[in-house]
Amino acid sequence: MILPVILSGGAGTRLWPLSRELYPKQLLPLCGEQTMLQQTAARLDGLADVVAPLVICNEAHRFLVAEQLRANGCGHSGIILEPVGRNTAPAVAVAALRATADGDDPLLLILPADHVISDISGFQAAVEAGRPVAAAGRLVTFGIVPDRPETGYGYIRAGSPLECGPEARGQGPEELQDPGSAAAQPQAASRPTNACAVEAFVEKPDAATAQSYLDAGGYYWNSGMFLFRASSYLRELERFNPGMLAACRAAHGSLAADLDFLRLGTEAFAACPADSIDYAVMEKTDRAAVIPLAAGWNDVGSFSALWEVGERDAAGNVCRGDVLVEDARDCLLHAGSRMVAAVGTRDLVVVETADAVLVADKGRVQEVKQIVARLKEEQRGEALLHRRVNRPWGAYQGVDAGERFQVKRITVNPGAGLSLQKHHHRAEHWIVVSGTARVTCGDQVLTLTENQSTYIPLGEVHRLENPGQIPLQIIEVQSGSYLGEDDIVRIEDDYGR
């Protein structure tokens, strides 16, 4: 049995302003109608003996993750919330501990949530090729067959081919052998695979070195996707980083259910060392194997990568949204909230959202993360959120703001409601644009419809709910000395915040 583990904890800073810290790239529909998380879950359909995925995500993204899986018709085996980011090695350790908690020992298929794979059948064939190799005790990584001398990826150097014995069911490492080894010689019935032992993991090369890898063959891009038994990973992590495993055991031991989520112990997980699977285990183990994968893979790590996977017009432009071009070539042009027009441009990235515009040379898009760093240093909200902010009950969007006032458009989904709350520093005026609102204000409960309004005094306990069958749209006018989102005292909340 395969238990997919979808890692959805990244921030995607190089895709700002589309990707924000609280709305990262894996939750965006960057390469089609589905989000990248939804595409990752959907490409599991058709694999044999696979259960619903276990998802590990940032606590702040939990409702977005759950809603996207529900909207896509994807079940899950649990959504584990990381209180802090600790990279991939601890996240996978927690998944392995969860998978073995009841005495099972499934194969774990580790999939980042922010990859694009255009050839689904090719991906699934690679997973099937890796299944007996992982069942025999190897830690399989999928190496992307390179089509160019890429300097932005780490590489895997393949070693000797591996053969898999006819009874490869995970009984021990002796079942998968280097065919030239003495132990492998008696296994006359062993069958070849397209797996090779990993000879080395290689850091990102310069251009000349990358070209030499391409010319030599036997080098693959490191995809960050893996397949191994849960126990195999835990055993190797115990060998090379017992402190990390101990911290993960403590965090898993304090796992607590919260609505549809599983929360890790905050203090224990925060004490865990942060490291990637590659550095913590794969570069150290002698049990690593690589399966070649040529399936239209892209990690969409930058706008140039997004341009590569996009649908280009005759002039090489990738256009999304309301875009007009005149003599533009090889550009990525993205309009989110208004028209974008490009005249006489070459190799540019122009990305427009409701609150920010990025213009960059396509060859320097890796430097976008430096803009994000500056935004964080200046404590600007554009690094964290879009103007439209999703909440488990719906969404809100800023319309206008000034000294001592702020205007928002609020959408509440049918049957949903905000928390019972109060504010210390602001009063609110609500005007119903469409739908039906049930308003609790102190001891009063009111029902308001289109064009009706009400006032929430400063400090009054209140709640907004939608008892109707269509979305509720209201305009909220806030006034007061402080209008930050942290001026909310929640008294009751259906979403456990």
How far is Cα of residue 273 from the mean position of the Cα atoms in its chain?
A: 21
Mean pLDDT computed over every residue of the chain? 91
Distance CA 177, CA 165 (A): 8
What pLDDT is recorded for position 259? 81
What is the Cα–Cα distance from 18 to 25, expressed in whole angstroms? 7
Q: Is 136 helix (H, G, I), strand (E, B) or coil?
A: coil
What are the tokens at 339? 């028209």
Cite the beta strand spans of 99-229 per DSSP E. Answer: 107-112, 116-117, 139-144, 155-164, 176-177, 191-202, 219-229
Which residue has 């003996």 as its token pair? 49
- Above 90 in pLDDT, residue 165? no
Is residue 77 within 8 A of residue 3, CB to CB? The reply is yes
Mean pLDDT for 187-212 is 81
> What is Dmax (Cα atoms) for the chain?
84
- Is there a contact between 116 and 39 (Cβ–Cβ < 8 Å)? yes
Statement: 2-298 belongs to CATH 3.90.550.10: yes
Q: Is residue 265's pLDDT more than 60?
A: yes
In CATH, what number does 388-492 get? 2.60.120.10
CB 151 within 8 A of CB 207: yes
3-state secondary structure 293-358: ECCCEECCCCHHHHHHHCCCCCCCCEEECCEEEECCECCEEEECCCCEEEECCECEEEEECCCCEE
State the DSSP string of 153-176.
S-EEEEEEEEEE-TT-SSS-GGGE
DSSP state of 278: I
pTM: 0.84
CA distances from 27 to 20, 62, 245, 363, 444 (A): 10, 11, 29, 25, 39
pLDDT over 50 at 381, yes or no: yes
Beta strands 256-258; 261-263: pairing state = antiparallel
How far CA 100 is from CA of 3, 7, 165, 260, 476, in Å, comes to 11, 18, 25, 20, 49
**Residue 261 pLDDT exceeds 50:** yes
What's the pLDDT tens digit per position in 28-53? 999 989 999 999 999 999 999 999 99
Calpha distance 294→194 (Å, rounded): 13
Closest to 274 in 3D by CA, of 23, 134, 89, 111: 89
**Residues 428-481: pLDDT tens digits?**
999 999 999 999 999 999 999 999 999 999 999 999 999 999 999 999 999 999
Residue 193: its pLDDT value, please? Answer: 61
- The pLDDT of residue 177 is above 80: no
Asked if residues 140 and 127 have their Cβ atoms less than 8 Å apart, the reply is: no
Cα(59)–Cα(392) distance, integer angstroms:
13
Q: Say which amino acid occupies 153.
A: Y
Percentages of the chain per state (helix, strand, coil), in multiples of 5: 25, 35, 40
| pLDDT score at 10 | 81
* Separation of alpha carbons 101 and 84, rounded Å: 23
**Digit-coded pLDDT (tens) for 313-368:** 999 999 999 999 999 999 999 999 999 999 999 999 999 999 999 999 999 999 99
Residues forming CATH 2.60.120.10 domain(s) in the chain: 388-492
What distance in Å separates the CA atoms of residue 110 and residue 316, rounded to the nearest whole number?
34
